[in-house]
Every structure is written in C-alpha cells, then in structure tokens.
Amino acid sequence: MTSMDPEKSVAVVVGSTGGIGAALVEQLAASARYSTVLALSRGPAELPYVSITRRYVDVTDEHSVRSAASQAAGLGVVRLVVVASGLLRAADASPEKSWTGIDPTAMARLFAVNTIGPALIAKHFLPLIPAKGRSIFAVLSARVGSIQDNQLGGWHSYRASKAALNMLVRNFGIELVRRSPEAICIALHPGTVDTALSKPFQRGVRPDRLFSPARAAGYLLAVVENAQAADNGGVFAWDGARVPA
C-alpha cells in the first residue's frame, strides 16, 4: 500500500472485539500508518495504543451505523474500512445439513448480520472515501460463499448470506470507482481462524491451516496492501488467491 500521511488518514475496523477484528486493530495501530484507528463494536475492550479510538456500533441498526460514520468523518480522511463482523450461526441453531433444517428466524438473523449489516456500513462509510488517492473498503466473507466452489452443499443460511455479500461487494466496487477511481472494494476469506466462532467446527482442520487471529490478520492486511485496481469487486483468500464467484 502506498504511504499515507499519518496526520490525516483514518482506518476503520467494524467488529473490533472479535478475534480477527481485535487483531486487525492492534496491527493497524502498531503500523503507525494511520493517525487514528477507529475500532467499532458493540462491546468494550482494552485500548493498547493511543491512536485507537473506540466507539459503539450495531451493524443491524442503521441509526447506529450512521452515527459511527459521522464520528469517523470527524477524525480525518477515511482510507481503510474493514468490516470484520459476522455470524456463523444464530443463537443455538446449528448450520443446516439439509433443507429440512432451514429456520426462517435463524436465516434472517444471519442475513441481518452477514449481509445487510455490511451493506449498511457501505451505505454510510463509502461516501467518506475521498475522490482522490488510494483507499480500500474490505469485508470478511468466506470461501463457502462461492457458488462455483460449492461441492458439499449444506450450511444454507451461512453460505447464502456470504454469497449475497460477495455480490454486494461486486456492486459496490463498480459504483465506488465512478467517484473514487483509485479506490478498491474487496471481500476477504480469512481461512479457519482459532476463535470462539469457529471452535465447534475445527475438527478435521489441519494444524497448519488453523490460524491464530494475529496470523490471520497479518495475512489479510497483506492482501489489502497488495490489492490492485484489477482486484476491485473480487473475493480473495488469506493467501491472495482469488476465490471463484
């Protein structure tokens, strides 16, 4: 990523108290690339760096998202937004192994957090991205959201919510470059990360493919740093490989 003026640039991480989100916040703050890292979440957390500003957001509440965007605008020029919030399953509902397991309430909850939430973030934060200069809007998606790559089926709600998110990223990328030609909008697949979210589903994952949050965050930031204009609207895995649509 090209050098940015630390006096003016702001990085925003949504979902900053999750495993990956917290690691992203810490690594961005440690890089000293940004004057402020705005950490947005529903819960409190420690602030290990003075450059971190923490604020509340609920991605399912548009008023909350709008307020958070207004706060971000007052901190400087927004050059990076990473949406690291997400939900693997709703409450005690298990991922569906068959269409017989589909629960409309659980499905609606996953779409609210995984799809509509990031869409609301885009609605209110993309207008903050400047017309000139390199900026990145990135969301955490998942390889299981790939329609082409799906050979196993199941996990209907989670897969569908991420597939819809990937489509939104493509749409947003097309619209974004019309007003900010150097901006890039991408979705990121972090791999399997050792967090409470994935804990029940880690069986069978090779040890070398079960990443710590810090390791996953490092990989994802490297993908962000190396993103090119041609990558706009695409989905990329932790190793930089393009995930099929």
What's the pLDDT tens digit per position in 74-112? 999 999 999 999 999 888 789 999 999 999 999 999 999
Q: Is the pLDDT of residue 19 over 70?
A: yes
Q: For 5-46, list the strands marked E by DSSP.
A: 9-14, 36-41
What's the pLDDT tens digit per position in 176-203? 999 999 999 999 999 988 876 666 665 6
At 103, list the tokens: 């629960």
Q: Is the pLDDT of residue 117 over 80?
A: yes
At 180, list the tokens: 């900010």
pTM to 2 decimals?
A: 0.93
In this predicted structure, what is the pLDDT of residue 205? Answer: 67
Which ranges of 103-235 does DSSP label H, i.e. alpha helix? 104-111, 117-125, 156-179, 213-226
At 130, list the tokens: 């400047």
Q: Is the pLDDT of residue 1 over 70?
A: no
Class of domain 9-237: alpha beta
- Mean of pLDDT values over 8-27: 96
Residue 89 DSSP SS3:
coil
